[in-house]
């Protein structure tokens, strides 16, 4: 997200970097904080397009560190929430490389704050659950859809854009009301942020007709009605006026 959401510790770490191994979704304003003297290595991952396999990223971090460099692994959001940080820490510690993990503002919290949407609310949601819509090797995640549908509180789906319609269908099939409010937050906290609201039965249409490409979050639950966003017909009206 936005560069000024980095912690002071993260900014200091970047300033001391010799090598920065970064994801493709890190924003330009964050990249601008990297010293000009530091070497930048992109290990960008998109669905079906990986610069390096996960194991190779671990090997790269280890090799650069053992060469005597101060290595920063720069990710968007938080490294320990669907960020594969655990796998990379394991690779480093197995090789005897000391590691410090600096937490980040995970996209669910950043996006919700940008949308003025509480993820928990005394009247509407006493809990929140984070799940991924994208499993290892590009498969479908092994989720208990019946349990997720029955919870009745806020559900946040990371990396679920390509499966939005299927996710909605699974939840409705298992008992979640089709009229449950939803919000889709694309590129949250950045100057390209897009927030679209609707109901669960429309989730696939919101992604498709709203031109959502990602990275984006799917927020499902009563709190989504509180998001500062537009409905699909409002977006269509604005686009007609612009044309």
Which amino acids are annotated catalytic? Answer: 23, 45
| CA nearest neighbour of 72 among 50, 40, 30, 49 | 40
> How far apart are alpha carbons 117 and 104 in whole angstroms?
19
Write the burial class of residue 228 (CB in 10 Å: 0-12 exposed, 13-18 middle, 19+ buried).
exposed
Q: Environment class of residue 16 by beta-carbon count within 10 Å: exposed (0-12), middle (13-18) or buried (19+)?
A: exposed
- Going by C-alpha positions, the residue among 31, 29, 136 that lies closest to residue 82 is 136
The gap from C-alpha 189 to its chain's centroid, in whole angstroms, comes to 12
Sign for the CA dihedral angle at 198, 114, 214, 177 comes to: negative
Which is it for the CA torsion 66, 74, 51, 164, positive or negative? positive
Beta-sheet pairing, 216-220 with 181-186: antiparallel
Could you give phi then psi for residue 196, rounded to 5 degrees? -125, 135
Residue that is written with structure tokens 């031109």 in the block: 211
């Amino acid at each position: 997200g936005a560069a000024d959401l980095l912690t002071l510790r993260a900014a200091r770490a970047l300033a001391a970097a010799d090598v920065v191994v970064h994801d493709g979704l890190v924003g330009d304003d964050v990249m601008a904080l990297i010293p000009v003297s530091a070497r930048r290595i992109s290990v960008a991952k998109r669905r079906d397009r990986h610069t390096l396999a996960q194991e190779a990223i671990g090997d790269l971090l280890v090799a650069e560190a053992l060469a005597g460099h101060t290595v920063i692994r720069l990710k968007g959001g938080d490294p320990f929430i669907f960020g594969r940080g655990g796998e990379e820490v394991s690779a480093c510690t197995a090789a005897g490389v000391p590691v410090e993990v600096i937490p980040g503002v995970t996209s669910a919290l950043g996006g919700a704050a940008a949308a003025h949407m509480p993820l928990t609310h005394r009247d509407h949601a006493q809990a929140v659950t984070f799940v991924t819509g994208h499993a290892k090797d590009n498969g479908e995640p092994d989720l208990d859809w019946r349990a997720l549908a029955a919870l009745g509180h806020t559900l946040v789906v990371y990396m679920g854009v390509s499966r939005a319609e299927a996710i909605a269908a699974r939840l409705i099939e298992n008992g979640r009301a089709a009229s449950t409010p939803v919000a889709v937050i694309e590129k949250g906290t950045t100057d390209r942020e897009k927030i679209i609201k609707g109901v669960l039965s429309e989730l696939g249409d919101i992604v498709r007709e709203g031109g959502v490409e990602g990275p984006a979050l799917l927020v499902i639950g009563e709190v989504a009605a509180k998001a500062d966003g537009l409905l699909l017909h409002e977006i269509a009206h604005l686009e007609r006026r612009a044309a």
